[in-house]
Amino acid sequence: MNILFILGFTACILTSNRVFALDPKTAFEHANSISDVSVNMDLLDASLVIANAVHPEIDISAYKKMVSQLALQLRPLVDAEKLPEKKIDVLNKALFKEHHSVVNHLNLEEMKNPEEESLLNHVLDSWAGNCLGFTTLYLILGDALKLPVVPILAPGHIFVRYDNGSFKRNIETTAMGSNLSEEKMAKQLRITLTPEHRMLGTYFHVASKSDVISSIYANAGLLLARQGNIEEALRFFDNAQKLNTKSGEAHIDRALVLITTKHFQEALKESEIALELYPEATQAYLNEGVCLKGLKRPDEAIQAYKKAIRIKPSFSPAYYNLANLYDELGKTNDAIFNYSKAIELNPSYAKAYYNRAALYLEEKNTPQKALSDLNASLKLDDSNHEVYFVRGLTYQALNNFTAAKLDFTKYMEIEPQSAMQKNVKAIIEKMNEQTQK
């Protein structure tokens, strides 16, 4: 069975950095002088140079002008307010209400491209983004407006805190700038706040500019990996780790990229380091499971997936990957159960529908159920052309030869180089013979 594979990405996805001079041409020349970046690089410049490294076509000066104009518009409004909460309201209104901003919350699985949503240019272009994208803009504007705002890092998440010494307030950029307590955020992120975690400085600590740039670096690394530039992506992760040695995010994302190149042992080591820093990082357990599966250690892989599920029962990628593994082990009922759970938690999980359909058809001989799943998968994602082939087989099993031939023909048109062309033609000929009898 042609099982499709997926890796979920980290919670609100913090990851990535590319700092240095305003001139993007010189940015790469200085890319190894990482110590200069954290001290001398402005967050606005750093964010845009990183974005430019991923998207060379963007005009850095145009975005700097956009931010400068926004700050000029806000300055008299902020200065007119005496109370800190009113100053915060001005900024929240400008960023989240007047622009009708679309801010993705902590459910990463609903984001199509979470790393892109972390880039400053994306936020400014679309007024849509995730926690890192909007927090970066908030911090840049806060600095321009002389507001005492600082970044706060949590595993897989970042937010802003206003703190002038006498007044302190959290600003959750994924909730229109609302004031959420650390306890509430911890509950949403499914992490446990302990004195040990606070002492280690990995949970809800005041971050430095270097920490934020590190997060931006890591996200950019994932984008570069998506573009196929693995070597540069790994270098970005190296830089991210150098800028923030206490963050597990870069280790998690580095593991993701190493998994795509089947370097499972190295990826496993990265996952273990991430778990030492973030013991409740579900993505790290997911990565660990994939690595152990790749290393032919299925029992340990199952336990890794189950650990992710225990920490975050709503984490659908863990159920999906667990189902894939059970299917490979021939445990059809367990596989179907976990595909069903993934779909229950994420009704848009096209690949889970497809894989469950294949089991319904091949192992359970229930083509009607398979047909329902295949229709759902195709509606959600028409880029998986294999659906047409499997649905053709399903229609054939239901003796609906007309619909079967239409799907087989569609598959051959879309995939003219497929090795299955000869087989599909033979199936169509056999159905024609049966129809003529």
pLDDT tens across 346-387, in order?
999 999 999 999 999 999 999 999 999 999 999 999 999 999
pLDDT higher than 80, residue 107: no
116 — pLDDT class (breaks 50, 70, 90): confident
Which residue has tokens 């880029």?
383
Over range 167-181, report the average pLDDT: 88
Domain boundaries, the chain: 24-210
Higher-scoring residue by pLDDT: 327, 243: 327
SS3 152: strand
Per-residue model confidence (pLDDT) at position 109: 45
Over range 174-199, report the average pLDDT: 70
Over range 1-15, report the average pLDDT: 33
Over range 223-236, report the average pLDDT: 91
CA 175, CA 256: separation in Å to the nearest integer?
28
Q: What is the distance, to the nearest Å, from the Cα of residue 12 to the centroid of all Cα atoms in its chain?
A: 7
May I ask the CATH class of domain 24-210? alpha beta
Average pLDDT in the chain: 84
217 — pLDDT class (breaks 50, 70, 90): very high
pLDDT higher than 90, residue 249: no
Per-residue model confidence (pLDDT) at position 207: 86
Task: Read off the amino acid at residue 359.
Answer: L
- Written as one string, the DSSP assignment of 212-272 is HHHHHHHHHHHHHHHTT-HHHHHHHHHHHHHH-TT-SHHHHHHHHHHHHTT-HHHHHHHHH
174 — pLDDT class (breaks 50, 70, 90): confident
The share of the chain scoring above pLDDT 70, in percent, equals 83
Question: Mean pLDDT lowest for which of 119-133, 186-200, 284-298, 421-435?
Answer: 186-200
The share of the chain scoring above pLDDT 90, in percent, equals 64
Per-residue model confidence (pLDDT) at position 103: 58
Per-residue model confidence (pLDDT) at position 436: 77
SS3 176: coil
CA 364, CA 437: separation in Å to the nearest integer?
29
Per-residue model confidence (pLDDT) at position 281: 87
100 — pLDDT class (breaks 50, 70, 90): low
192 — pLDDT class (breaks 50, 70, 90): low
433 — pLDDT class (breaks 50, 70, 90): confident
Per-residue model confidence (pLDDT) at position 434: 83
Top mean-pLDDT range of 29-33, 105-109, 393-397, 413-417: 393-397
Question: What confidence tens digit (pLDDT) does each residue in 41-87 have?
Answer: 789 999 999 999 999 999 999 999 999 999 999 999 999 999 999 99
For 263-296, b/e burial (b = at least 16 CB within 10 A) is bbeebbbbbebbbebbbbbbbbbbbbbbbbbbee
7 — pLDDT class (breaks 50, 70, 90): very low
SS3 413: helix
Per-residue model confidence (pLDDT) at position 196: 56
Per-residue model confidence (pLDDT) at position 27: 34
